[in-house]
């Protein structure tokens, strides 16, 4: 079990500023995968099957509206997460074949890195590097229900909250404008798509 603080936005068009930033950091950070989300019809709990693991998230506390920089307003959410190995070939195959319609398949093409602080500077690392605290930054193209959209999110983890200056956010987002109405977690996103 671990705790994270997250902010995320969903939007309909590719964001070239974010794409360019990921392309320029010089790390192999791309991944294609299909996750399956359980339709719980709640925005406070998320359950997904991901690459042989079951992941459960529970939102705690209230959403806090704030900004990352003057153009990126969103809602920060605090989550408790559990992750454990549960790979079952038969169950996974049945879910893939749509025998359990309460599981929603979500295809993702994503870029993801983690940033840490070292000697007063922010450094980027692949997700495979084990660190005590930092922030995971993700940009992904998502396909579900024959719809395509994009998401950008930042997830702080560990006992120390890594301070990220607005200037660093500016490097990633450029002149991108994000609003509060675009900002929510995956459970809310799935609920919005179903409506």
Mean pLDDT of the chain: 90
Cβ–Cβ < 8 Å for 7, 183: yes
CA distance 195 to 193: 6
Q: What is the 3-state secondary structure of 91-106?
A: HHHHHHCCCCCCEEEE
Higher-scoring residue by pLDDT: 193, 183: 183
Q: For residue 77, what pLDDT band results from cuts at 50, 70 and 90? A: very high
Tell whether the model's pLDDT for residue 153 goes beyond 90.
yes
Radius of gyration (C-alpha) of the chain in whole angstroms: 17
Q: For residue 101, what pLDDT band results from cuts at 50, 70 and 90? A: confident
For 17-76, the pLDDT digits (tens) are: 999 999 998 777 789 999 999 988 889 999 998 888 889 999 999 999 999 999 999 999
CA distance 51 to 37: 12
What is the model's pLDDT at position 55? 93
User: For the ranges 23-27, 90-94, 131-135, 180-184, which has the lowest average pLDDT?
Assistant: 90-94
Q: Which region, left, alpha or beta, applies to residue 158 given φ > 0 means left and ψ of -120 to 50 means alpha?
A: left
What is the model's pLDDT at position 97? 78
CA distance 135 to 1: 17
SS3 at position 107: strand
- Listed residue (39, 42, 40) closest to 103, CA to CA: 39
Tell whether the model's pLDDT for residue 106 goes beyond 70.
yes
What is the model's pLDDT at position 87? 64
Q: Please state, as a whole number, how many other Cβ atoms lie within 10 Å of the Cβ of residue 31.
A: 14
The two tokens of residue 54 are 């079951």
Domains and CATH numbers, the chain: 6-194 (2.40.320)
CA distance 85 to 184: 27
For 164-187, the pLDDT digits (tens) are: 988 999 999 999 999 999 999 999
- Which H helix or E strand runs over 38? strand 30-38
What is the model's pLDDT at position 195? 54
């Amino acid at each position: 079990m671990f705790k994270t603080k997250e902010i995320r936005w969903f939007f309909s068009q590719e964001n070239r500023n974010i794409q360019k930033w990921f392309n320029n950091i010089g790390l192999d950070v791309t991944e294609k995968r299909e996750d399956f989300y359980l339709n719980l019809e709640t925005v406070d709990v998320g359950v997904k099957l991901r690459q042989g693991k079951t992941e459960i998230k529970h939102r705690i506390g209230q959403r806090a509206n704030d900004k990352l920089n003057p153009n990126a307003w969103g809602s920060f959410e605090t989550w408790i997460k559990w992750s454990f190995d549960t790979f079952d070939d038969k169950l996974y195959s049945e879910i893939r074949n749509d025998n359990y319609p309460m599981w929603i398949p979500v295809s993702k093409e994503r870029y993801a890195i983690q940033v840490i602080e070292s000697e007063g500077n922010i450094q980027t690392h692949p997700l495979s590097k084990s660190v005590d605290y930092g922030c995971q930054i993700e940009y992904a193209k998502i396909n579900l229900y024959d719809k395509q959209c994009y998401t950008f999110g930042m997830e702080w983890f560990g006992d120390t909250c890594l301070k990220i200056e607005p200037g660093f956010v500016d490097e990633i987002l450029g002149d991108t404008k994000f609003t509060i109405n675009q900002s929510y977690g995956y459970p809310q996103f799935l609920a919005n798509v179903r409506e």
